[in-house]
């Protein structure tokens, strides 16, 4: 393990550039990370999906993004370790072979959509409250439980068939669920499903991220996953990392100190950090 003084966690592997829905260029993130004395920085553009092009990289843009990241990795190799990642949505169908062919250093696997049971329509769970309400209404005759369970079933299938290195914002489906507006996070059915997902993660050697993006964008008051889920993760000895899901350079380490304290309070002694091309324990 290693520990660096005067910094809460010196890395971030989840960030978005102008190739997708981010506001800054890749090099700006790297320079910001250098200024903060980070050990490593990784970026993770949203993968292409044919049915929702606005927030995601195009196919051509994906290749350009990777080529630029390779150039920047070499350019700044004496100042910081730069890693090439992607946030691959479940419906992008990534797998370790694709990762290798593209030259990726790691992949964050995330679920953002649930496909309709009959129609060729995909419901986004984290776009806006109105879109989530539309999804609940149309997915299964207004049964919110059915949509939530489908979201977590996608995560389970992603774990089995796509094997990401990191699982992104595990309970993203609660983004707009303040005060239990759409479903009860304390219900037996919900927690039973979460337990099922975590049992699969524990068997798959996948890292779960603490993700502060919901807070920085004003939708949640705590990181993903919730503290109650984080406690379940700790009991299963599932490794965790910390990221800000940054869409601007200003948020590169947003809510990091607070999140480290949350992790420590739960019982974690370390977070995974990428260094020298591998994941290591960083003592907190």
Q: What is the pLDDT of residues 14-33, one digit of tens each?
A: 999 999 999 999 999 999 99
Q: What is the pLDDT of residues 163-176, one digit of tens each?
A: 999 999 999 999 99
Specify the pLDDT at position 142. Answer: 85
Check pLDDT > 80 for residue 48: yes
3-class SS letters over the chain: CECCCCCCCCEECCECECCCCCCECHHHHHHHHHHCCCCEEEEEEECCCCCCCCCCCCHHHHHHHHHHHHHHHHHCCCCCEEEEEEEEEHHHCCCHHHHHHHCCCEEEEECCEEECCCCCCEEECCCCHHHHHHHHHHHCCCCHHHHHHHHHHHHHHHHHHCCCCEECCCCHHHCCCHHHCCCCCCCHHHHHHHHHHHHHHHHHCCEEEEECHHHHCCCCCCCECCHHHHHHHHHCCCCEEEECCECCHHHCCCCHHHHHHHHHHHCCCEEEEEECCEEEEEEC
**Domains, the chain, ordered by start:** 11-283 (3.20.20.140)
Q: Is the peptide bond before 225 cis (omega within 30 degrees of 0)?
A: yes
Q: What is the pLDDT of residues 58-87, one digit of tens each?
A: 999 999 999 999 999 999 999 999 999 999
* In the chain, % of residues over pLDDT 70: 98
Specify the pLDDT at position 6. Answer: 58
Specify the pLDDT at position 1. Answer: 64
Q: What is the pLDDT of residues 188-201, one digit of tens each?
A: 999 999 999 999 99
Specify the pLDDT at position 4. Answer: 58
Check pLDDT > 60 for residue 265: yes
Check pLDDT > 60 for residue 3: no
Looking at every residue in the chain, the average pLDDT score rounds to: 96
Specify the pLDDT at position 141. Answer: 84
The b-or-e profile of 26-43 (16+ CB within 10 A means b, else e) is bbbbbbbbeeeebbbbbb
* In the chain, % of residues over pLDDT 90: 95
Alpha-carbon gap, residue 175 to 236, rounded angstroms? 24
Q: What is the pLDDT of residues 88-143, one digit of tens each?
A: 999 999 999 999 999 999 999 999 999 999 999 999 999 999 999 999 999 988 88
38 pLDDT band, cuts 50/70/90, is very high
Specify the pLDDT at position 112. Answer: 98
Specify the pLDDT at position 2. Answer: 58
- Kindly state the helix (H) or strand (E) to which residue 71 belongs, with its residue range: helix 59-75
Average pLDDT over residues 224-244: 98
Specify the pLDDT at position 166. Answer: 98
């Amino acid at each position: 393990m290693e520990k660096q003084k005067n910094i809460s966690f010196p890395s971030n592997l989840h960030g978005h550039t102008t190739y997708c829905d981010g506001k800054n260029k890749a090099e700006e993130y790297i320079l910001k990370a250098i200024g903060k004395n980070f050990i490593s920085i990784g970026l993770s553009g949203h993968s292409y999906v044919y049915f929702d092009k606005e927030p995601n990289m195009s196919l051509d843009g994906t290749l350009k993004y990777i080529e630029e990241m390779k150039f920047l990795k070499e350019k700044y190799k004496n100042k910081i370790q730069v890693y090439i990642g992607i946030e691959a949505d479940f419906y992008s169908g990534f797998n370790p072979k694709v990762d290798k062919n593209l030259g990726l250093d790691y992949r964050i696997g995330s679920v953002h959509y649930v496909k309709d049971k009959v129609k060729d329509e995909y419901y986004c769970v984290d776009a806006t409250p109105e879109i989530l309400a539309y999804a609940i209404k149309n997915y299964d005759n207004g049964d919110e439980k059915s949509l939530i369970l489908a979201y977590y079933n996608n995560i389970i299938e992603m774990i089995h068939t796509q094997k990401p290195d990191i699982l992104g914002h595990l309970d993203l489906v609660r983004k707009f669920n303040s005060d239990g507006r759409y479903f009860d996070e304390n219900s037996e059915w919900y927690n039973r499903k979460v337990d099922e997902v975590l049992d699969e993660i524990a068997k798959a050697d996948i890292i779960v991220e603490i993700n502060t993006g919901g807070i920085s964008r004003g939708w949640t008051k705590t990181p993903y996953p919730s503290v109650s889920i984080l406690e379940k993760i700790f009991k299963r000895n599932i490794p965790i990392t910390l990221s800000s899901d940054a869409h601007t350079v200003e948020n590169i380490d947003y809510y990091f100190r607070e999140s480290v304290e949350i992790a420590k309070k739960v019982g974690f002694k370390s977070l995974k950090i990428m260094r020298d091309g591998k994941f290591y324990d960083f003592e907190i």
